[in-house]
C-alpha cells in the first residue's frame, strides 16, 4: 500500500481511505475502513469513464456479477454506488500479497503450495461459473495469497455466460500471456473453458516463475497463445499432464472443473523433493519470418508460403489486439506514446540490428523498491541501484540492500531495515558495502556477501563523510575524524593516514585514494587541496579553486570543474556556471586549465573522456575532457533527467526522468534515437526522488520514485 496522493479523496461512501492499494486503466483501488473498523478495498472509477453511460452500464454489470459470486476463494462485494458522480465499489479487504508478488519475492511455489493453489482456484472458478459468469482475466495479479488459501479478485471484465455483452472498443479486455486462444480470436464468445486455459497458464507461472507464452511483445505473445505449443520447461512432472490438458487450443478438449479438481487432489500433499526451480532462460520459440525457416517439420509449409502464412497470422492478430486497445509491458500497461525518431534511421538501424547482450532469460521487468516494516522508516530520499558485472543491487524504503535478478526483476535476497531509501555504497570482489545507523550518533559500513546477503564484517566510520571504494579496498574516515582508514576485502585494516581536523573527506579518482580538504573552514568555503593518501602520510598534490567539483579521472589524471563564480546563492533552481576543466598531474601537482567555449550549467558527469552537462530543463551538452570542445548539445523536452549511462556498443547515451520516461540520444551527435512513455504509477516518491539509470550488459536498468525497471536497448516495441 502507498500513501494517498494529492487529489485523492479522504473518504468514499462513508469509508475513510487509508492509502492506495493499486491503480489500473479504469480506476484506483484504495484501502478503506468503515466507522466500525471493517476494512474494505474501494475501487473508484476514473472521472473520464464516469461520463460515459456505456461504461456506467458495464460497471453496474460488474457489481451485479461480483455480488452473484459467493465462495471461500473470492472476495465478496459489501457496498457500491454505480450512480455516484464517480462510481465506486467496495469489496471485503483481503490482506496478502498477490501471486505475482509472491513469486517475485520468494520464487516459484513448492509442490505442496502448487496443489493448494490449484485446488483453491478450481473451487473459485466453480463458484464463478455457477453464477453464470466467466472471469476472463485470471492472472497472477488477480490472485491474492492468504494463509487459508488463494482469493480471486477483480471481476472488472467478467460478463455473463449467456452472451449478454456490450461493444467496448478500445478497452483492455484481458492480459495476453494469460488469455485463451478463443478470447483473442473472438472475445465476445468465450465460455467457462477460457478460464480453464487461463488457469493452466497461471499454474505454469506459479511453478516456474514465467508464463508458458511469454514473449517480447503482445503480438508475439498472442501469436504463441493461438498457434504455438506452450513452454512447459521446469513444470513438475506430476503437474505437467494437468497443465497440458488445460492449455489445449481446443476449448472442448480441456477438462471440466470437476475433473480438474480430482486430478489436483491426486497430487502429492507434501514436498517429497526439492521445490521446482525457475528456468534460467526462456526456451527460444519459433518466430515467423519473411522467408521459410531453415529447418521444416515434415508436412509443414515451406519457403514463401510459410512466410506468407506467418505474416497473415501476425497481421490478423495485430488487428485484433489493436481493436482491443492492448499496449502491454511486463506486468504493467503502458501508454502508446513511445517513439523512435525517424531522423536516426541510418545510424540507429545499424546499431539496433545487432543482437543485444542481455542477461540470460532477460525480459522487460519492473519491481518496487519498498518493503513495509513496522515503525517509522528512516528515509534518505535517494534510493537507487548499482551493478557489478551481471549482478544488480538496489537500496530502497524498508530495507538496506536487495539483490535483484537482472533477467526477471525478482528479489533474490533482501537484508537490513536501516537506513532506508539509500542505495548501496559499492560492490567489489564479491562484497556489497552498505551503511548501517544503529543510533543517532553511530554509523557503520557493513560488508555483505554479494551472493547470499550474509554479513561478513562491519566497521564504525565517520557519520559526516561517505566511504569510497578504490582499487585496493575501502577508504573511510575514522569516527573521530582524526585519520583516514583503509580496509581490505577481509575487513582487515590495511593502513591509516592523518586527516586535518575534520576538514577532509575521502575520495577515489581513477581508482586512486585521495583526500579533498578545505583547511580552516567548512568544506567548499575555501580553496580545495587535493591530497594524495599513502600509509601514514597525507601529501598535498594540488590547490584548486573554491567550489571546484571533482568529476573523476582521465588517463590517471584527476579532473575537476572550475566554477565561473564561487559565490553562495540560496535560490531555488539555481545552477552554478562552470567555465573550465582542470586536469591535475598526480606526480608533479601541475594543474592544466582547459577553458570551455562558454560557461555551462547543470549536473556534470564524466564518462569515457566526455563530460555531460545535464540541466533541469532537459538540455544536455557533451564536452571533450581533453580539449574542452563542445561535441554537441541537445535540447529535449524531458525535464529532470538523471545522470547519463553510456553504451559504447550502441553509441548511445541513456537517461531516465523522475517518472520513468527513458530517453536515448546518439552519443556522437546528440540526436534523439528513441524515448518511452512514463511509467504508470511509479510510486508516491517520484516527484522528490532523483532518477537513476545504468546498464547491466546491454540491458537498461532505471529507477523512478520507489520503482526499478529494466528495458531493452532497442527502445520501445
- pLDDT tier for residue 137 given thresholds of 50, 70 and 90: confident
Write down the pLDDT at residue 375: 61
Write down the pLDDT at residue 54: 63
Quote the crossing angle between the two packed helices 303-324 and 218-227, to the nearest 10°. Answer: 120
Region of poorest pLDDT, from 490-499, 517-526, 618-627, 695-704: 517-526
For the full predicted model, state whether its pTM sits above 0.85. Answer: no
Write down the pLDDT at residue 572: 62
Write down the pLDDT at residue 71: 64
Residue-wise pLDDT for 210-258, tens only, equals 999 988 777 788 889 999 999 999 999 999 999 999 999 999 999 999 9
Write down the pLDDT at residue 352: 41
- pLDDT tier for residue 378 given thresholds of 50, 70 and 90: low
- The cell for 132 is 453464470
Residues paired with residue 539 on neighbouring β-strands, in sequence order: 532
Q: Is the pLDDT of residue 611 over 70?
A: yes
Residue 21 three-state SS? strand
Q: Which residues contact 476 (CB under 8 A, 6 or more apart)?
A: 445, 459, 461, 462, 465, 467, 484, 485, 486, 487, 506
How far is Cα 705 from Cα 206, in angstroms, rounded to an integer?
28
Write down the pLDDT at residue 25: 62
How far is Cα 73 from Cα 148, in angstroms, rounded to an integer?
9
Provide the CA 655 distance to its chain's centre, in angstroms: 15
Residue-wise pLDDT for 255-295, tens only, equals 999 999 999 999 987 665 444 444 443 333 444 333 333 33
How far is Cα 620 from Cα 338, in angstroms, rounded to an integer?
20
Place of cell 467478467: 158
Cis peptide leading into residue 419 (ω within 30°): yes
Cα angle 619, 621, 627; round to 5: 165
Pairing between β-strand 379-382 and β-strand 420-422 as defined by DSSP bridges: parallel
Q: Which residues contact 470 (CB under 8 A, 6 or more apart)?
A: 486, 508, 511, 512, 513
Region of poorest pLDDT, from 35-44, 89-98, 373-382, 386-395: 373-382
| Rg of the chain taking only CA atoms, in angstroms | 29
- Which helix or strand (DSSP H or E) is residue 549 part of? strand 549-554
Residue-wise pLDDT for 445-464, tens only, equals 999 999 999 999 999 999 88
Residue-wise pLDDT for 562-587, tens only, equals 998 877 766 666 788 999 999 999 99
Write down the pLDDT at residue 473: 93
Average pLDDT, the chain: 80
Write down the pLDDT at residue 396: 86
Amino acid at each position: 500500500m502507498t500513501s494517498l496522493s494529492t487529489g485523492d479523496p479522504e473518504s468514499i461512501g462513508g469509508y475513510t481511505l487509508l492509502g492506495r492499494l493499486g491503480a489500473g486503466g479504469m480506476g484506483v483501488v484504495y484501502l478503506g475502513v468503515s466507522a466500525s473498523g471493517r476494512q474494505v478495498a474501494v475501487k473508484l472509477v476514473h472521472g473520464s469513464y464516469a461520463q460515459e453511460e456505456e461504461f456506467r452500464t458495464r460497471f453496474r454489470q460488474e457489481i451485479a456479477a461480483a455480488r452473484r459470486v459467493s465462495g471461500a476463494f473470492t472476495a465478496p462485494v459489501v457496498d457500491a454506488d454505480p450512480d455516484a458522480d464517480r462510481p465506486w465499489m467496495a469489496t471485503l479487504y483481503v490482506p496478502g500479497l498477490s501471486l505475482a508478488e509472491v513469486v517475485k519475492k520468494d520464487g516459484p511455489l513448492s509442490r505442496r503450495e502448487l496443489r493448494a493453489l490449484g485446488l483453491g482456484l478450481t473451487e473459485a472458478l466453480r463458484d464463478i461459473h455457477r453464477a453464470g459468469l466467466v472471469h476472463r482475466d485470471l492472472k497472477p495479479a488477480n490472485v491474492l495469497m492468504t494463509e487459508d488459501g488463494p482469493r480471486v479478485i477483480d471481476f472488472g471484465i467478467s460478463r455473463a455466460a449467456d452472451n449478454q455483452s456490450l461493444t467496448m472498443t478500445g478497452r483492455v479486455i484481458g492480459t495476453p500471456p494469460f488469455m485463451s486462444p478463443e478470447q483473442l480470436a473472438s472475445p465476445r464468445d468465450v465460455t467457462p473453458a477460457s478460464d480453464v486455459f487461463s488457469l493452466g497458464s497461471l499454474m505454469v507461472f506459479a511453478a516456474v516463475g514465467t508464463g508458458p507464452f511469454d514473449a517480447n511483445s503482445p503480438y508475439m505473445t498472442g501469436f504463441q497463445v493461438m498457434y504455438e505449443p506452450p513452454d512447459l520447461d521446469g513444470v513438475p512432472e506430476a503437474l505437467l499432464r494437468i497443465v497440458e490438458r488445460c492449455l489445449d487450443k481446443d476449448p472442448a478438449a480441456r477438462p471440466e472443473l470437476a475433473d480438474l479438481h480430482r486430478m489436483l487432489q491426486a497430487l502429492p500433499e507434501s514436498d517429497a523433493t526439492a521445490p521446482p526451480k525457475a528456468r534460467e532462460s526462456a526456451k527460444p520459440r519459433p518466430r515467423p519470418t519473411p522467408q521459410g525457416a531453415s529447418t521444416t517439420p515434415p508436412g509443414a509449409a515451406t519457403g514463401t508460403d510459410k512466410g506468407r502464412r506467418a505474416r497473415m497470422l501476425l497481421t490478423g492478430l495485430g488487428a485484433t489486439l489493436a481493436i482491443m486497445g492492448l499496449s502491454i509491458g511486463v506486468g504493467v500497461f503502458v501508454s502508446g506514446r513511445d517513439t523512435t525518431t525517424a531522423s536516426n534511421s541510418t545510424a540507429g538501424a545499424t546499431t539496433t540490428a545487432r543482437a543485444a547482450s542481455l542477461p540470460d532469460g532477460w525480459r522487460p521487468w519492473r519491481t518496487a523498491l519498498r518493503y513495509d516494516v513496522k515503525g517509522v522508516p528512516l528515509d534518505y530520499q535517494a534510493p537507487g541501484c548499482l551493478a557489478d558485472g551481471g549482478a544488480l543491487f538496489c537500496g530502497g524504503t524498508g530495507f538496506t540492500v536487495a539483490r535483484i535478478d537482472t533477467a526477471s526483476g525478482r528479489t533474490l535476497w533482501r537484508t537490513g531495515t536501516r537506513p532506508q531509501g539509500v542505495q548501496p555504497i559499492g560492490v567489489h570482489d564479491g562484497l556489497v558495502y552498505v551503511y548501517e545507523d544503529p543510533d543517532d550518533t553511530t554509523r557503520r559500513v557493513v560488508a555483505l556477501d554479494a551472493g547470499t546477503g550474509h554479513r561478513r564484517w562491519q566497521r564504525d566510520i565517520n557519520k559526516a563523510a561517505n566511504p569510497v571504494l578504490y582499487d585496493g579496498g575501502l577508504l573511510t574516515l575514522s569516527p573521530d575524524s582524526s585519520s583516514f582508514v583503509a580496509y581490505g576485502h577481509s575487513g582487515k585494516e590495511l593502513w591509516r593516514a592523518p586527516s586535518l581536523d575534520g576538514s577532509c573527506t575521502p575520495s577515489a579518482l581513477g581508482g586512486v585514494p585521495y583526500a579533498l580538504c578545505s583547511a580552516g573552514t567548512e568544506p567548499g568555503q575555501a580553496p580545495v587541496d587535493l591530497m594524495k593518501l599513502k600509509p601514514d602520510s597525507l601529501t598535498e598534490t594540488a590547490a584548486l579553486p573554491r567550489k571546484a567539483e571533482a568529476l573523476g579521472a582521465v588517463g590517471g589524471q584527476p579532473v575537476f570543474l572550475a566554477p565561473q563564480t564561487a559565490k553562495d546563492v540560496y535560490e531555488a533552481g539555481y545552477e552554478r556556471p562552470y567555465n573550465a576543466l582542470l586536469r591535475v598531474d598526480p606526480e608533479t601537482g601541475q594543474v592544466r586549465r582547459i577553458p570551455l567555449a562558454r560557461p555551462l550549467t547543470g549536473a556534470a558527469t564524466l564518462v569515457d573522456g566526455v563530460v555531460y552537462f545535464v540541466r533541469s530543463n532537459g538540455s544536455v551538452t557533451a564536452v571533450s575532457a581533453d580539449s574542452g570542445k563542445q561535441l554537441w548539445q541537445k535540447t529535449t523536452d524531458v525535464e529532470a533527467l538523471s545522470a547519463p549511462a553510456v553504451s559504447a556498443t550502441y553509441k548511445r547515451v541513456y537517461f531516465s526522468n523522475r517518472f520513468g520516461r527513458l530517453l536515448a540520444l546518439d552519443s556522437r551527435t546528440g540526436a534523439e534515437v528513441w524515448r518511452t512513455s512514463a511509467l504508470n504509477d511509479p510510486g508516491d516518491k517520484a516527484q522528490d526522488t532523483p532518477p537513476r539509470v545504468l546498464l547491466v550488459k546491454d540491458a537498461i536498468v532505471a529507477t523512478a520514485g520507489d520503482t526499478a525497471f529494466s528495458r531493452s536497448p532497442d527502445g520501445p516495441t
